[in-house]
Structure 1
Amino acid sequence: MNKEKVYFGKEIEVMFNSDVCIHSGICVKGLPGVFNLSKRPWVDPDADTSEAIARHIDTCPSGALTYKRLDEKNSTKKEDEHA
């Protein structure tokens, strides 16, 4: 069962797959304004620029975090790389 959750922002959608996550903590350590385990929802895709969020998600070692850019004419779909 895929446990992927989508967090919708104005310029980026962030997807999180809890089945894939290895809990490295890179997300919360690197962008704590966007990824905050003390808040619900814990992902706020409007808390930083879509560029900064996309760059940070690209560092996720497990691929549990993916994204879809909504702010570009030809959206970048990081999730396609993990399909």
Structure 2
Amino acid sequence: MSNKVYRGKEIEVYFDSEKCIHSGVCVKGMPQVFDLNKRPWVNTEGASANEIAAHIDSCPSGALSYKRLSQES
């Protein structure tokens, strides 16, 4: 397993490159958070934790996952 962790204030995003099928759902649907031209390529402050979590839930391979660090009101 090849996991990378991207930690934000309210959410931690995990990426498993071995599971990724490169469908592009992440970068096409939320480019302000997932941008392959930037380092790090995951910007956990680019949207709310709720928006990021909902988008990650649409990842077809399960390569992206998350952990909430705090609850939003």
Q: Normalising by structure 1, what TM-score?
A: 0.84
**What stretches of structure 1 of length at least 5 have no aligned partner?**
73-83
Q: Which has the higher contact order (CA 8 A, sep 6+)?
A: 2
1:46 match: 45
RMSD: 1.1
Could you say which residue in structure 2 is the equivalent of 1:31? Answer: 30
Q: Which residue of 2 aligns with 1:63?
A: 62
Partner of 2:3: 4
Aligned-residue sequence identity (percent) comes to 62
2:60 maps to a residue whose letter is: P
Task: List 4+ stretches of structure 1 deviating above 4 A.
Answer: none
TM-score by length of 2: 0.95
- Residue 51 of structure 1 aligns to a residue in which SS? helix
Counterpart-to-counterpart distance in 1, 2:60 and 2:70: 25
For the residue of structure 2 that corresponds to 1:67, the secondary structure is: strand
Structure-1 separation of matches of 2:12 and 2:45: 9
Residue in 2 that maps onto 1:78: none
* Superposed displacement of residue 70, structure 1: 1.0
- Offset, 1:62: 0.3
Q: How many aligned positions are there?
A: 72
